[in-house]
Structure 1
Amino acid sequence: MSSRILKCVDCGSYTLKKECACGGSAVTPHPPRFSPEDRYGKYRRQLKALAKEG
């Protein structure tokens, strides 16, 4: 079991379980850790630009 709090993507409530009581999946609400030497930043920006185009 994870020790971090998780947030349900469906109802927005917080839980410690991987699945919320409403049946939705729970993900971590924390952003990824920032690093100045971001090895995958270029690819993430390309993917974001492709998604924005349509």
Structure 2
Amino acid sequence: MYTMKEVCRICGRETIIKKPPRFSPQDRYGRYRRCLKKLERGLIHGGDSD
């Protein structure tokens, strides 16, 4: 369940606030992170064509 509250109204546990990572034009590893996300989602295939 998505919530902006600090405590879950169903189970009463403390929630984790998700924040997007900061964007930086100098991000050296952004290209690799985006490629890994695509691999995990199955949008592209790995380079092992043996």
Calculate the TM-score normalised by the size of structure 1. Answer: 0.47
Q: Decide which structure has the larger Cα Rg and report it.
A: 2
Higher strand share: 1
RCO comparison, higher one (Cα < 8 Å, 6+):
1
Calculate the TM-score normalised by the size of structure 2. Answer: 0.49
